[in-house]
Chains A and B, each alone.
Chain A
């Protein structure tokens, strides 16, 4: 009986107490619009999501595989598929097809802000709303730029799509023409420029960041219009305008690129804090957080678990605490600076050096600050790079490099740093080994962005915190010079190039310059900044530069009987050959997207 009483009371209590709650409660674990759009913190958090997804090709970025995700293997560098570096990639094919980047989810996040912020504008001052709207336009342009440079024409989505409210037929959108996507990017960046203020907090956009991106994007569009209409792959997508831009549009885009670059004049400047030592100045430009040259950066920290591995994976373990290196600058890159290095005497014999460091004398400071040469020093340790030992060496360098090298019988190589020959170490602790590639293959190491102040014990994986400079003023100047050159304004191009060369410690250009002068300057200044691959593509010269091409190394040898060093210009030891197929001027539309939306056909030519 008592039991029955309890049961009844429990049931009654359960019914009555439950009735005190409404069942229609908003879930607490979902952030609602009013949480975001009613206060500044909400907007800041929302912006952080967008900026985090922004396709900045930073230390982590690789052209294939994990793409923008955060692996430690930063030697999977896009420069290593096109001859700026030699690296872990077996050939250009390994990474030319991309990784199926398709950020329409992120674009929707931006569009959502663009639709909902104006509805809640009463909550904030007008300047703030404008600034945020401007940032949103900037970010949307950034996403579309990342898409169009890969795929050509993609669907332009300006409004938030909703599923299942909208029928699937309506959501299966068609591609837009490539030229229209570039114009859309220009329009978004113009809106961004007008809405945003002159200054912004670090790592976020202001009006000049938008202008800088515009100068980059419009330069791409102009070159694709000009050179892509001469060198192209035929196919349905091209016939329908989804890839390729009419040549008649080129000058308009170049003009926009030049105008946008000009806007930054006087607001940013080249880094010149230590001009009495131009090499050190150039090194510090990439490490000094307060550089007036930085336009848009991305920061990393240990506490936010975003620290990267550049230090641990760009130089070998002799200089670091963990990891390994696998990507090394090619001799072809080094020769962009002043042609062939002075390693051969006029009579054809290899020049004798007392030590390997002697070669660095008289080279351009910017080159020395970009690449670690044999004999350079990092964290108190010297790059003792040495390929091997010759007992003796006679004859010319050319004959030694031919099919029947006369001194090969006196040459000693090794796959291990322990190996000695007559008490001398055969190879250096920093290479060049006959075994593996975790020491240099070319004689060089990347120096740009390497934090020389960091203690060796702190050079482990995911421990580096130097900022990535996504856009810097030097690039804007180069965009301007290239656009000027394409528009026939040689004077402006020379002026701008000489500003850069002065900072770099290089002699000014004089006399007639060509477009190749400007392009070469760009390749030197922006080396290893993940631009070279896109530049080769947009100039439509990749299929000529990478045409069964093999790259060279600068290999130091010790000559035992002379107690001297020589350098030989050999093929890099892996002798890989790189070929760019013309279809890679565009990546294929990702297969998964084609499966979901047949309206994305035709795919890009030859896929």
Chain B
């Protein structure tokens, strides 16, 4: 009796699991999308960003006119790549960065598709120089605006310091931007629309109390009051504090 029962159970189990063996005949995510974010003002160099700064918004239009968007985060060198996408027709838009909004592009992604975006930054950090005075890093720079017409209000400039070259608003040692004592945040408030006085001014940013015997990476960022409030960055500088 028990043997029959067991046999039945095994039979049922086999039957029930057999239904799981049907293979999925849809193609997997075998396509990819990559490219560069080009700074049109800078001899086609890549746009200065940081890890997780600019994102490429993908909307797959193959199935629905109103898809849920997905995003590819950019790399700190201003490139992006995702090799696990489904082939199909997409609408792509670079978003979440400090650049003038660009129109979306519709394209087919098949295999490894490459597309470069040309972006115009809101602001540029020019004449950037740095020096070390004791344990204080001094960074000097000027601001330039490739397009001044309709530029949103400039909020502030902030220093970012990290112990790796991956440095930006999302990767910074907070005590150098927000000192732990009662003093104000270490930043330069601008809160003004673009005018000539901003263009002519040389800004001096100081980061005091760097730890001795360490190597730091630092850069300056400046942001405007647009939809995203992201930063336009200077180059990253490496400083060795003696």
Interface residues of A (CB under 8 A from B): 231-235, 397-399, 401-403, 543, 548, 550, 569, 571, 577, 581-583, 591, 594, 598, 601, 605-606
Contact with A along B90-102 (1 / 0, CB 8 A): 0000011000010
A569 to B226, CA, bound (A): 34
Q: Knowing A234-B101, A543-B229, A582-B229 touch, does A594 contact B66 (C-beta < 8 A)?
A: yes
Give the residues in chain B near A231, CB-CB below 8 Å: 225
Give the residues in chain B near A605, CB-CB below 8 Å: 227
* Contacting residues of chain B (92-123) with chain A, CB-CB under 8 angstroms: 95-96, 101
CB distance from B52 to the nearest CB of A (A): 13
Is residue B68 contacting chain A, with contact meaning CB distance below 8 A?
yes
A601 to B67, CA, bound (A): 10
A583 to B228, CA, bound (A): 8
B227 lies within 8 A of A402 (CB): no
A402 lies within 8 A of B178 (CB): no
The 9 closest A-B pairs by CB, nearest first: A233-B227, A401-B181, A402-B181, A601-B66, A598-B66, A403-B209, A234-B227, A398-B181, A582-B227
Q: Which of B65, B68, B182 is within 8 Å of A398, CB to CB?
A: B182
Is residue B180 contacting chain A, with contact meaning CB distance below 8 A?
yes
Q: How many residues of B sit at the interface, in one of the four size bands?
A: 20 to 34
Is residue B174 contacting chain A, with contact meaning CB distance below 8 A?
yes
8 further interface pairs, Cβ-Cβ under 8 Å (given A233-B227, A403-B179) = A235-B227, A398-B182, A401-B180, A403-B181, A543-B229, A581-B228, A582-B227, A598-B64
In the assembled complex, 15 residue pairs joining A and B whose CB atoms fall closer than 8 Å, in A order, are A231-B225, A235-B227, A398-B181, A401-B182, A402-B179, A548-B177, A548-B178, A550-B178, A581-B229, A582-B227, A582-B228, A594-B66, A594-B68, A598-B64, A606-B96
Number of CB contacts from chain A to chain B under 8 A: 50
A569 lies within 8 A of B174 (CB): no
Q: Knowing A403-B209, A598-B65, A606-B95 touch, does A577 contact B174 (C-beta < 8 A)?
A: yes
Give the residues in chain B near A606, CB-CB below 8 Å: 95-96, 227-228
* Contacting residues of chain B (209-231) with chain A, CB-CB under 8 angstroms: 209, 225-229
Give the residues in chain A near B169, CB-CB below 8 Å: 548
Is residue B51 contacting chain A, with contact meaning CB distance below 8 A?
no
Contact with A along B151-189 (1 / 0, CB 8 A): 000000000000000000100001101111110000000
A131 to B35, CA, bound (A): 65
A43 to B64, CA, bound (A): 45
Give the dominant DSSP class at B's interface.
Answer: loop
Give the residues in chain A near B177, CB-CB below 8 Å: 548
Give the residues in chain B near A550, CB-CB below 8 Å: 174, 178
Residue of B nearest to A597 (CB): B66
CB distance from A493 to the nearest CB of B (A): 27
Give the residues in chain B near A569, CB-CB below 8 Å: 182
Give the residues in chain B near A398, CB-CB below 8 Å: 181-182
A551 to B223, CA, bound (A): 23
Residue of A nearest to B169 (CB): A548
CB distance from A152 to the nearest CB of B (A): 15
**Looking at B64, B169, B225, which has the most chain A CB atoms within 10 Å of its CB?**
B225
A182 to B23, CA, bound (A): 53
Q: Which of A403, A581, A601 is within 8 Å of B180, CB to CB?
A: A403
A606 to B174, CA, bound (A): 27
CB distance from B209 to the nearest CB of A (A): 5
Give the residues in chain B near A577, CB-CB below 8 Å: 174
CB distance from A54 to the nearest CB of B (A): 32
A594 to B64, CA, bound (A): 12
A548 to B209, CA, bound (A): 21
Give the residues in chain A near B225, CB-CB below 8 Å: 231
B175 lies within 8 A of A403 (CB): yes
A234 to B93, CA, bound (A): 14
A582 to B209, CA, bound (A): 33
Give the residues in chain A near B178, CB-CB below 8 Å: 548, 550
**Looking at A231, A398, A403, which has the most chain B CB atoms within 10 Å of its CB?**
A403
CB distance from A395 to the nearest CB of B (A): 13
Residue of A nearest to B209 (CB): A403
* Contacting residues of chain B (50-88) with chain A, CB-CB under 8 angstroms: 64-66, 68
A399 to B180, CA, bound (A): 11
CB distance from A172 to the nearest CB of B (A): 12
Give the residues in chain A near B228, CB-CB below 8 Å: 581-582, 606
Q: Which of B68, B175, B180 is within 8 Å of A591, CB to CB?
A: B68
CB distance from B180 to the nearest CB of A (A): 6
CB distance from A214 to the nearest CB of B (A): 32
A571 to B185, CA, bound (A): 13
A543 to B153, CA, bound (A): 14
Give the residues in chain A near B175, CB-CB below 8 Å: 403
Give the residues in chain B near A591, CB-CB below 8 Å: 68
CB distance from B91 to the nearest CB of A (A): 13
Give the residues in chain B near A402, CB-CB below 8 Å: 179-181
**Looking at B101, B169, B174, B181, which has the most chain A CB atoms within 10 Å of its CB?**
B181
A397 to B226, CA, bound (A): 39
Give the residues in chain A near B68, CB-CB below 8 Å: 591, 594
A601 to B64, CA, bound (A): 12
